[in-house]
Amino acid sequence: MLKKVLCMALAAFMLLNVSNRTTAAADLVEVPTAWLDEHETFLMWYAVEKGWDAEAGLKIKMQLFSSGADILNALPSGKWVYAGMGAVPAMLGNLRYGTSIIALGNDESRCNAVLVRSDSPIAKVKGWNKQHPAVLGNPETVRGKTFLVTTVSSAHYALSAWLESMGLTDSDIAIKNMDQAQALAAFENNIGDGVALWAPHMFVAMEKGAVLAADMKMLGKGNPIVLVADTRYAEKHPDVTARFLSIYLRAVKMFKETSPEMLVSEYQRFHREFVGKDYDATLALKDLQYHPVYDLPQQLALFDDSKGPSQVQRWQADIAAYFSSIGRITADEAKKVADGKYATNAYLKLVK
């Protein structure tokens, strides 16, 4: 009799546990998000792998896209409410859909670059502009050449800034628009004279012999990866938005406290399982080392607009001015994003 009572009690306990887990899972807020095959995505992927989203009451659904433009195109159909992308598509997102920048993903100033082949005449000229002594190329070696790039992207911004350092514009070269994987493959097959890539594609190209002509840091340009929100959703659900940021910032804290060498295997697993590609350990380490990240106090400082435009707003304003100057957005469009005020600290302030 006692054995029967114990069995019944155990069965009831197990049913209660299952019920509690089911209820807990049902209570999680499902959050669709959009990402690229980049470093910032690894941080959220890692957080989800550790179950930190569930601890914050969310169920983060991660979706992979090939470019910021593709992410933006998916917004009208409701495929995401938060996303990670470059500062350039973030500007376009505000123009087209009124999206907001709610935080920084990382600093990509060293991870968007113009590359050429080692035997290119461009690679033979260094320091033509004395303000940028490490930059390769001059007007004579660059004018009229063909470059592969994902247009109106952070890589395009790097390409245009490089041209600007030589007194040139996009109209002085031939531009072929390709996504990053296509551009890398085409360049490896001797198509084009140069290519503009972001990490990890730029590291793959360099490993195969491409020469770095310039990156954004060498050109003195800020180039953050940003976290973007569908503004309507964020305003309706500020608590969810703050929890989403808290999850990402928890991963940032982990990243700051862990040596890159200790994260290589997990970074390779992220690329295998989420991106669907193998990633050489040496290149993975370099990718991890090249991406500074910002914790909450740093983010709040960079978003502080209490005494005028914040640093993030100024970065976005610079991007708008530049793409207006080369005719990629109209003067009227530039006016709409000229102050960069769509970069807001409203949700960072709610993070606990």
How does pLDDT run across 265-275, given as a tens digit for each residue?
A: 999 999 999 99
Q: Confidence class of residue 21 from pLDDT cuts 50, 70 and 90?
A: very low
Question: Which two tokens mark 128?
Answer: 């033509």
Residue 128, φ and ψ in degrees, nearest 5: -60, -40
- Confidence category of residue 14, pLDDT binned at 50, 70, 90: low
Q: pLDDT value at position 13? A: 52
For residue 148, the SS3 value is strand
Instruction: Give the homologous superfamily in CATH for domain 112-215.
Output: Periplasmic binding protein-like II (3.40.190.10)
Mean pLDDT of the 8-31 span: 60
Distance CA 219, CA 290 (A): 16
Cα–Cα distance between 106 and 254 in angstroms, integer? 14
Question: Is the model's pLDDT at 210 over the cut of 80?
Answer: yes
Q: So what CATH class is 28-108+224-350?
A: alpha beta
User: Does residue 341 carry a pLDDT above 80?
Assistant: yes
Q: Are 35 and 83 in contact (CB under 8 A)?
A: yes
State how beta strands 211-215 and 82-86 pair: unpaired
Alpha carbon distance 264, 351 (integer Å): 29
pLDDT band at 22 (very low <50, low <70, confident <90, very high): very low
The token pair that represents 181 in the structure block: 């994987």
- Write the Ramachandran bin of 79: left for phi over 0, alpha for psi from -120 to 50, otherwise beta: alpha
Cα 226 to Cα 106: distance, rounded to the nearest angstrom: 7
Lowest mean pLDDT among 1-5, 210-214, 216-220, 233-237: 1-5
Query: For 297-306, what is each residue's pLDDT tens digit?
Result: 999 999 999 9
Q: What is the pLDDT of residues 108-125, one digit of tens each?
A: 999 999 999 999 999 999
Q: For 52-78, how does the pLDDT look when each residue is reduced to its tens digit (9 = 90+)? A: 999 999 999 999 999 999 999 999 999
Average pLDDT over residues 138-166: 96
Q: How much is the average pLDDT of 181-186?
A: 97
pLDDT on residue 325: 87
Q: Please give the mean pLDDT across all residues of the chain.
A: 93
Q: What is the pLDDT of residues 272-330, one digit of tens each?
A: 999 999 999 999 999 999 999 999 999 999 999 999 999 999 999 999 998 898 888 99
Q: In this predicted structure, what is the pLDDT of residue 83?
A: 98
Place 18 in a pLDDT band, splitting at 50, 70 and 90: very low
- Same fold: 28-108+224-350 with 112-215: yes
Whole-number pLDDT of residue 223: 85
**3-state SS class at 67:** coil
Strand extents, DSSP E, the chain: 29-35, 58-64, 82-86, 100-107, 112-116, 146-149, 174-177, 194-198, 211-215, 224-229
Inform me whether the pLDDT recorded for 51 exceeds 60. Answer: yes
Distance CA 97, CA 183 (A): 28
Q: How confident is the model at residue 8 (pLDDT cuts 50, 70, 90)?
A: low
The Cα–Cα gap between 290 and 114 comes to 16
Q: What's the pLDDT at 24?
A: 56
Domain residue spans of the chain: 28-108+224-350, 112-215
Work out the angle between the directed axes of helices 281-289 and 260-270 (0-180°, nearest 10): 120
Q: What is the pLDDT of residue 131?
A: 97
Q: Is the pLDDT of residue 25 over 70?
A: no
Taking a C-beta distance cutoff of 8 angstroms, is the pair 217, 110 a contact? yes
Is a pLDDT exceeding 50 seen at residue 19? no
